[in-house]
Amino acid sequence: MTVTHLFPSLSRRALVGSMLAAPLVISSRGWAAGPKNVDVVIVGAGLAGLNAASMLEEQGLTVQVVEASDRVGGRLRTARVDGYQSELGGSEVGALYGRVRDACARHNIGLTTDGAKGTDFLLHVDGTAVLPADWAGSSVNQTRGREREFLPYILQNRLMFDWLPFKQTNAWLDPANLAYDVSAAELMRSKGVSEAAIRLADIDLNGASLEGVSALSIFRDMARARVEGFNDPNKPQYGGAAMAAERSYIVGGSDVLPTAMAAALKNPVRLNSPVIAIDQTADQAKVFLATGDVLTARFVVMAAPFSAVRRIRFTPGLPDVQADAVVGARYSATTQFHFKITRPYWEQDGLPPSIWSNYAFERAFALKSPTTGAIDTMIVWVNGDGATRWDDRDTNRQVELVLAELARIRPSMAGALEYKVGYSWGRNPFVGGNKHFYAPGQVKRFAADMGKPAGRIHFAGEHLRRLEHGMESAMETGEAAAMEILERI
């Protein structure tokens, strides 16, 4: 249910301008109280906000970053439990992530290509286990024609790759390409794709569902992946034994980078400080925090996800198109469960270690250690609407169900997994998902204008990505917001 259903008499602009939610975290002032009068207040301590803060400080401006949660890093989140370390959010540093790599170098943070390696999948579809080599002729393969030759975990990439209407990443906003701002499932049907193939392709989508994601949104990210070297759609882009070797990883965990960036700022980040309102005049902006403090600044960088921005009251209200984008912003839920593998169950049944399934757990990645080469870790990873369906359960109950389901379809796995940590981005109250995506029609409605300055407020965050993706997109948008402000001074 959207917010507009709850308040049918209000316009989107009025809604964003008047919503004043109860503060989510008000228990602490964070690392330090900090100054109350600065040149720039930055809302959000993810990579976008921290990169903007660093650039503005380098040019002599006084900056205060405020963060609603109790930590910096946004969607870079590293779990450390009893000697076990895993990434719950962004993890990969692409070969062309120049801004991220430069930031790592400036803060003396190492990068390594020694990441965990994927293993081959066992397919489990409609209750039947199938080896990939047998998929094309299997009776459970209900796809048709040439679709039957495509393994389920490459279906989405394989089909969309063939239809990619542009090669340059920035072409996705060209008027000629707005015709693809339709449901990805609708586009597939128009190309003659079977309903069985659509259902299978849906599982690997990093979005709500193929019905609810704009095909143009997928094409944008695919064009960027091609620039970085993803040119073989017959291999999975993520996961499986073909994980790209040229990707790098931050030594010590992804959250080491934002932690270092925050520590280098002159004014410490104010944690546990949700913004509840921003009032603007011709020459200044006042930022009201849930702690009761009021900060005054010449400019504001709004680097929080739009799913959090919609809780903030703006006076005057945001422009109509921007307000529409804030209220309509969609984020893909992702729920993960991380396990240590205590017994090589694949030796018992002779099947591939990883599992790809159309059951509720979706994908179970068995990973090889980068140091020992042993297959010692499993990540059960659920995306989109599938993750949302998991999120109404208590975490302990979720883990019980995952273990029971794995053991039921593959008895050799009973007792072979030791649970370490789980995380739901859909439950995160400050994001509501791990990645922004456009619903059908949203690119036309507001993609070109949603990041434009609104008075003294400038915007940043991966939801505004144009040319980049992943961590680099956040850095890119933070840089753009900083440059906008510097041009106005």
Among residues 351, 340, 342, the alpha carbon closest in space to that of 124 is found at 351
- Per DSSP, what are the bridge partners of residue 194? none
Query: pLDDT tens digits for 402-422?
Result: 999 999 999 999 999 999 999
- b/e string for 137-162 if b means 16 or more Cβ within 10 A? eeebbbbeeebbebbbbbbbbbbbbe
Could you tell me if 154 and 201 are in contact, meaning their C-beta atoms sit under 8 angstroms apart?
A: no
Higher pLDDT: 246 or 373? It is 373
User: What pLDDT sits at residue 392?
Assistant: 86
Domain spans, the chain: 3-74+255-331+438-488, 78-117+247-252+332-424, 143-227
Contacts 24+ apart (CB under 8 A), 166-169: 166/219, 166/223, 167/223, 167/226, 168/223, 169/220, 169/223, 169/224, 169/227, 169/466, 169/467
CA atoms of 166 and 177, how far apart (whole Å)? 8
pLDDT digits (tens, 9 = 90+) for 43-95: 999 999 999 999 999 999 999 999 999 999 999 999 999 889 999 999 999 98
Q: Report how far residue 77's alpha carbon sits from residue 460's, in angstroms, rounded to the nearest whole number.
A: 19
pLDDT tens for each residue of 213-236: 999 999 998 888 888 777 777 776
Which residues, listed in sequence order, are joined to residue 288 by a DSSP beta bridge? 277, 294
Please give the Cα distance from 279 to 18 (Å, whole number): 12
Distance separating alpha carbons of residues 278 and 314, to the nearest angstrom: 5
381 has a pLDDT exceeding 50:
yes
- Helix ranges (H only) for 182-255 are 184-190, 195-201, 215-227
- Kindly report the CATH class assigned to 3-74+255-331+438-488: alpha beta
What pLDDT is recorded for position 246? Answer: 67
Angle subtended by helix axes 98-106 and 47-58, to nearest 10: 60
Pick from 287, 264, 265, 260: nearest CA to 274: 287
The fold adopted by the segment(s) 78-117+247-252+332-424 is: Polyamine Oxidase; Chain A, domain 2 (3.90.660)
Specify the range with the lowest mean pLDDT, choosing from 159-173, 303-317, 474-488: 159-173
Given CA atoms 371, 373, 378, 384 in this order, what sign does their dihedral have?
Answer: positive
3-state secondary structure of 199: helix
Q: Are 114 and 251 in contact (CB under 8 A)?
A: no
Select the more confidently predicted residue: 452 or 115.
Answer: 452
Residue 30 pLDDT exceeds 80:
no
Q: How far is CA 306 from the centre of its chain?
A: 13
- Output the average pLDDT for the chain: 90
Q: In this model, does residue 456 exceed pLDDT 90? A: yes
Give the torsion through C-alpha atoms of 432, 270, 421, 371, to 10 deg.
Answer: 120
On the CB side of 385, how many CA atoms lie within 13 Å of its CA? Answer: 11
Q: Where are the alpha helices (DSSP H) in 310-430?
A: 320-328, 345-349, 384-390, 395-409
